[in-house]
């Protein structure tokens, strides 16, 4: 039975990455040991971590001067770690959703925070465009994709100060101009791998500029200096990340991912716009390719539970919208096949027929 997994994350992963991980847990490469039993100081693991870093740099065309870290703790930890490392007096934040709000709340304890713009006035259904980034801020923080509200910044911003981006839910979904960012971070559990590991891509020259003492484990320099091996890293999660990155490369890289993601999103949003029973919640130009939020259209709100039951009977899972938005959220990460989106669209059409 094929399950169509539209969950927001942890989410659908490439079959080959799952198969390789399961095999390695039984035995890693004829070592006689499980992936879960090898030392993080072993040659085997060092090769895995090095390949994961180099694949990520290759896929995103990361320029010289940047380092990639694979850390435990989740993106929520980075909401604290970013200001700990980069905020001396003042930072600018773009408020585009719940995760941005959490990042802002943590940063406020480290210095002055200027929220340059917010889409809170319309329940985060758009990405603010007109704002000025203060030149005297230490950095400007954005959330490139808003997993909960389904909006996405589709371009890499030009920014006069160091640009920091939470890219948890759209990393690897499209080519990125990494040179425009000082720091990119996220949890792996959408496009990059399983829950349990975070990634940080940091331009080394932005580090070491704050006056405060940073706790060792929260200091990016600790992990840069030790190549993410200062303490025991999440070994198995990093293995799966490597397998996912190998898959992205084998499939044609982020250019191909973007092509597929655009095709999937077009298929779904076209149906949302055509089908009188449904309505999109986000300004069209800011609609996320990763998380499509939609609701029952006006007058049809009472059919929401019935539609969820209808799709559920056709092996579609994870479609329930976040409580902040309601309705539905179709998360369509890299590994979700077009066929799953077609199945959802078919459901929407059949449901329309049934409700005529």
Q: Which residues bind to a copy of itself, rule: CB under 8 A?
A: 1-3, 5, 7-13, 18-19, 21-23, 25-26, 31-34, 36-40, 71-77, 79-80, 102, 105-106, 109, 187, 189, 193-197, 213, 215-218, 230-237, 240, 315, 317-318
* Cα–Cα separations (whole angstroms), residue 338 to 25, 141, 151, 265, 333: 30, 32, 20, 9, 11
Looking up tokens 């209808």, which residue turns up? Answer: 310
**Length, in residues, of the chain:** 356
Contact 155, 145 (CB under 8 A): no
Q: CB of residue 300 vs a copy of itself: minimum separation in angstroms?
A: 27
- For residue 213, the number of C-alpha atoms closer than 13 Å in the C-beta half-sphere is 2
Contact 168, 187 (CB under 8 A): yes
Q: CB of residue 61 vs a copy of itself: minimum separation in angstroms?
A: 27
Give every CB contact of residue 283 below 8 A, 6+ residues apart in sequence. 125, 126, 127, 151
Q: Using CA of residue 286, residue 59, residue 93, residue 198, what is the dihedral sign? A: positive
Is 190 noted as a catalytic residue in this protein? yes
Is 166 noted as a catalytic residue in this protein? yes
* Cα–Cα separations (whole angstroms), residue 165 to 51, 52, 178: 24, 20, 10
Q: CB of residue 75 vs a copy of itself: minimum separation in angstroms?
A: 8
Give every CB contact of residue 174 below 8 A, 6+ residues apart in sequence. 154, 254, 257, 258, 261, 289
Contact 147, 8 (CB under 8 A): yes
Which residue lies nearer to a copy of itself by CB, 71 or 94? Answer: 71
Q: CB of residue 236 vs a copy of itself: minimum separation in angstroms?
A: 6
* Marked catalytic residue, from 20, 138, 170, 190: 190
Q: Which alpha helices (DSSP H) does 132-291 contain, by range? A: 220-225, 235-251, 253-274
| CA-angle at 63, arms to 59 and 67, nearest 5° | 85
Which residue lies nearer to a copy of itself by CB, 122 or 314? Answer: 314
Which residue lies nearer to a copy of itself by CB, 144 or 228? Answer: 228
Q: CB of residue 330 vs a copy of itself: minimum separation in angstroms?
A: 14
Contact 256, 172 (CB under 8 A): no
Which residue lies nearer to a copy of itself by CB, 8 or 128? Answer: 8
Which residue lies nearer to a copy of itself by CB, 117 or 229? Answer: 229
- The two structure tokens encoding residue 317: 């899972």
Which residue lies nearer to a copy of itself by CB, 55 or 236? Answer: 236
* Marked catalytic residue, from 138, 166, 219, 286: 166
Residues tagged active-site: 99, 166, 190
């Amino acid at each position: 039975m094929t399950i169509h997994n539209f969950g927001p994350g942890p989410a659908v992963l490439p079959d080959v990455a799952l198969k390789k991980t399961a095999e390695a847990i039984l035995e890693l490469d004829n070592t006689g040991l499980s992936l879960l039993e090898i030392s993080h100081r072993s040659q085997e693991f060092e090769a895995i971590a090095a390949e994961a870093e180099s694949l990520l740099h290759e896929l995103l065309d990361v320029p010289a001067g940047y380092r990639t870290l694979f850390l435990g703790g989740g993106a929520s930890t980075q909401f604290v770690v970013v200001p700990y490392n980069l905020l001396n007096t003042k930072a600018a934040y773009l408020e585009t959703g719940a995760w941005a709000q959490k990042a802002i709340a943590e940063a406020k304890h480290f210095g002055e925070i200027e929220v340059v713009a917010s889409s809170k006035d319309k329940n985060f259904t758009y990405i603010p465009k007109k704002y000025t980034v203060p030149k005297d801020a230490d950095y400007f923080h954005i959330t490139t994709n808003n997993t909960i509200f389904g909006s996405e910044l589709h371009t890499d911003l030009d920014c006069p100060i160091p640009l920091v981006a939470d890219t948890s839910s759209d990393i690897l979904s499209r080519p990125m101009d990494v040179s425009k960012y000082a720091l990119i971070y996220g949890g792996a559990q959408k496009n990059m791998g399983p829950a349990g590991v975070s990634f940080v891509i940091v331009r080394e020259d932005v580090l070491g500029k704050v006056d405060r003492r940073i706790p060792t484990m929260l200091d990016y320099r600790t992990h840069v200096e030790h190549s993410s091996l200062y303490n025991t890293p999440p070994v198995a999660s990093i293995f799966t990340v490597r397998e996912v990155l190998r898959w992205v490369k084998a499939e044609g890289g982020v250019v191909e991912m973007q092509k597929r993601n655009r095709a999937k999103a077009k298929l779904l949003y076209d149906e949302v716009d055509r089908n009188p029973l449904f309505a999109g919640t986000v300004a069209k130009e800011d609609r996320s390719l990763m998380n499509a939020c939609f609701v029952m259209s006006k007058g049809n709100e009472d059919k929401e539970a019935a539609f969820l039951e209808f799709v559920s009977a056709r092996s579609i899972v994870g479609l329930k919208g976040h409580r902040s938005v309601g309705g539905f959220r179709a998360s369509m990460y890299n590994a979700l096949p077009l066929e799953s989106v077609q199945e959802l669209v078919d459901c929407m059409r059949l449901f329309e027929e049934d409700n005529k």
